[in-house]
């Protein structure tokens, strides 16, 4: 089985912890691992790591790559399918299907989300296996989450006739499709209901939350796309005809530009006669807002979820997130407080969805607090903006052992580097020299320079920039371990591999 993990989501709902360039899938909001690390880790017992692919944009691919490398080791460089732009799920899934088709025309593929939480991972894998078997009979199988409340924020799947009975080891409830397991035909996909309708669904049973997780044979999917979504099919054919050629990345870009953004639900699932649903009671959450944490994180006796340097004086049922800075919360009830190095959010839980409006407002104001964090992670390490002043900027830069930044030059700034931990190897003009802890060096304006950690412990330097313009885009790259000097070119589809 192959897996395609949809990881293109942008970070608005968990602002200010999530940012456009640091969306939810990259955050460890429930558990030590980030959501993408959890998603990949969860399926590795079932799916070979070479068969796991992530579809996302170029910027996020680098960060996800770093996180997967950190968690699972090895290289993930060939595990990405890059969307030139976000075009909803149908096209991204179709593109992945083309890829899997080349590797193995008889492959089965699972479509998963990078940023969902699943508490019962083993039960989930059992269902994936069951879905894989069902898919062999040319079904488009989806996991329908057994609802636990009359939720109005999700679409529902109405289950029909039973296709395969639940195994005897599972709790059974007659033939009524309300519990975990079993395979049913899909009667209908229904839109997000109002409260009353949602309550009826919950009472009647046989309705499941649409989780956006699918399993099918690659071939079945492509056939059903051809049947129900002709424009998408034509676009995919165009890509298929150019795959592996010089025209490949241009073709992908053109097709993405040309096609209407469609969800796979709309393009195929709602139209096909081959849809099947497996009820799943697996502790699933799409972690769609701050308040969703209540479902996936253990709360304290007063119902609070607290992280970091928090003083709590009589708070209850609140989410209070701090980092190093202190947050003192007195008498809060059903509130969300999220404190990050450059922005703080305070709102009642029932209005937590409105952070989207804050993000929109920040975009309109050309602010930066929706875009990046003060700490930005790179494959070579990270940098944190400590202060931005008039004609100067201060950064803390951490470089992983053995890593190096690009060979670069700035037109508008000089840089003072003070090493506070480890040893730096510095290239400045023609010279290469080492700078040790408690030593400093100076990179003049326009000097070609490079920073490298030749040692065995992380290198930390404090950089003081001086100049008339201090934007991140004042950088000319000559050579880069991470190929960013070639960033005018799109990364092509991964090389064709034979599945093991």
Residues in touch with a copy of itself (CB under 8 A): 15-16, 311, 313-314, 322, 325-332, 335, 337, 339, 341-348, 350-352, 354-355, 357-358, 361-362, 367, 369, 386-387, 389-392, 394, 396, 414, 416, 418, 420-421, 437-438, 440, 442, 460, 462, 464, 466
- Distance, in Å, from the CA atom of 366 to the CA atom of 360, rounded to the nearest integer, reads 10
Peptide bond into 432 cis (omega under 30): no
For residue 322, the number of C-alpha atoms closer than 13 Å in the C-beta half-sphere is 14
If one counts every other C-beta atom within 10 angstroms of the C-beta of residue 250, the result is 13
Strand partners, 394: 387, 464
- Which tokens in the block code for residue 390? 């008039």
Shortest Å distance, C-beta 19 to a copy of itself: 12
DSSP category for residue 305? E
Shortest Å distance, C-beta 111 to a copy of itself: 34
> How distant, in Å, are the alpha carbons of 9, 17, 71, 206 from that of 21?
10, 11, 20, 39
DSSP category for residue 175? B
Q: How far is CA 332 from the centre of its chain?
A: 31
The residue (of 186 and 419) whose beta carbon lies closer to a copy of itself is 419
- Distance, in Å, from the CA atom of 292 to the CA atom of 352, rounded to the nearest integer, reads 10
All residues at 6 or more sequence positions from 371 whose CB lies less than 8 Å from its CB, including other chains: 19, 20, 21
Shortest Å distance, C-beta 24 to a copy of itself: 18
Shortest Å distance, C-beta 471 to a copy of itself: 17
Shortest Å distance, C-beta 323 to a copy of itself: 11
The residue (of 109 and 335) whose beta carbon lies closer to a copy of itself is 335
Shortest Å distance, C-beta 433 to a copy of itself: 16
The residue (of 230 and 389) whose beta carbon lies closer to a copy of itself is 389
DSSP 217-240: EHHHHHHHHHHH-HHHHHHHHHHH
Is residue 11 within 8 Å of residue 19, measured between CB atoms?
yes
Shortest Å distance, C-beta 408 to a copy of itself: 19
The residue (of 353 and 379) whose beta carbon lies closer to a copy of itself is 353
All residues at 6 or more sequence positions from 478 whose CB lies less than 8 Å from its CB, including other chains: 406, 407, 408, 409, 448, 485
The residue (of 198 and 459) whose beta carbon lies closer to a copy of itself is 459
Angle between helices 230-242 and 218-228 (to 10 degrees): 130
The residue (of 195 and 436) whose beta carbon lies closer to a copy of itself is 436
Shortest Å distance, C-beta 150 to a copy of itself: 23
The residue (of 18 and 65) whose beta carbon lies closer to a copy of itself is 18
Shortest Å distance, C-beta 409 to a copy of itself: 17
Q: Label the pairing between strands 407-409 and 476-479.
A: antiparallel
The residue (of 297 and 462) whose beta carbon lies closer to a copy of itself is 462
- Distance, in Å, from the CA atom of 149 to the CA atom of 163, rounded to the nearest integer, reads 26
The residue (of 86 and 386) whose beta carbon lies closer to a copy of itself is 386
């Amino acid at each position: 089985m192959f897996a395609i993990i949809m990881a293109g989501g942008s970070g608005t709902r968990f602002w200010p912890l999530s940012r456009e360039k640091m969306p939810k899938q990259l955050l460890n909001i429930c558990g030590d691992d980030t959501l993408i690390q959890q998603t990949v880790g969860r399926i590795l017992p079932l799916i070979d790591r070479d068969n796991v692919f992530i579809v996302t944009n170029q910027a996020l691919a680098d960060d996800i790559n770093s996180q997967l490398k950190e968690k699972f080791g090895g290289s993930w460089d060939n595990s990405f399918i890059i969307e030139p732009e976000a075009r909803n799920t149908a096209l991204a899934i179709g593109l992945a299907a083309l890829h899997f088709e080349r590797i193995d025309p008889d492959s089965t593929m699972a479509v998963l989300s990078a940023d969902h939480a699943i508490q019962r991972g083993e039960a989930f894998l059992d269902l994936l296996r069951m879905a894989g078997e069902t898919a062999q009979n040319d079904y488009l199988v989806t996991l329908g989450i057994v609802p636990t409340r009359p939720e109005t924020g999700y679409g529902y799947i109405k289950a029909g006739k039973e296709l395969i009975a639940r195994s005897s080891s599972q709790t059974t409830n007659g033939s009524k499709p309300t519990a975990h397991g079993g395979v049913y035909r899909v009667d209908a996909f229904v839109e997000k209901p109002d409260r009353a309708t949602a309550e009826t669904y919950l009472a009647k049973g046989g309705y499941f939350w649409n989780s956006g997780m699918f399993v099918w044979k690659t071939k079945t999917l492509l056939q059903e796309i051809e049947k129900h979504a002709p424009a998408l099919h034509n676009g995919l054919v165009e890509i298929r005809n150019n795959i592996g050629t010089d025209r490949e990345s241009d073709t992908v870009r053109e097709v993405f530009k040309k096609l209407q953004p469609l969800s796979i639900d709309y393009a195929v699932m709602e139209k096909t006669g081959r849809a099947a649903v497996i009820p799943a009671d697996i502790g699933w959450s799409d972690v769609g807002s701050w308040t969703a944490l209540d479902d996936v994180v253990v709360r304290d006796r007063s119902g609070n979820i607290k992280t970091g340097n928090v003083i709590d004086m009589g708070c209850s049922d609140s989410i209070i997130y701090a980092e190093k800075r202190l947050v003192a919360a007195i008498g809060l009830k059903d509130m969300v407080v999220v404190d990050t190095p450059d922005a703080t959010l305070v709102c009642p839980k029932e209005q937590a969805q409105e952070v989207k409006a804050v993000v929109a407002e920040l975009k309109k104001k050309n602010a930066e607090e929706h875009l990046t964090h003060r700490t930005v992670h790179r494959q070579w390490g990270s940098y944190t903006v400590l202060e931005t002043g008039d004609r100067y900027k201060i950064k803390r830069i951490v470089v992983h052992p053995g890593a190096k930044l690009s060979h670069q030059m700035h037109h508008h700034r000089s840089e003072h580097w003070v090493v506070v931990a480890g040893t730096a190897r510095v290239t400045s003009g023609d010279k290469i020299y080492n700078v040790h802890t408690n030593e400093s060096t100076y990179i003049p304006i326009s000097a070609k320079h490079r920073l490298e950690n030749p040692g065995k412990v992380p290198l930390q330097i404090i950089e003081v920039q001086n100049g008339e313009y201090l934007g991140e885009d004042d950088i000319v790259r000559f050579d880069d371990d991470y190929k960013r000097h070639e960033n005018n070119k799109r990364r092509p589809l991964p090389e064709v591999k034979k599945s093991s």
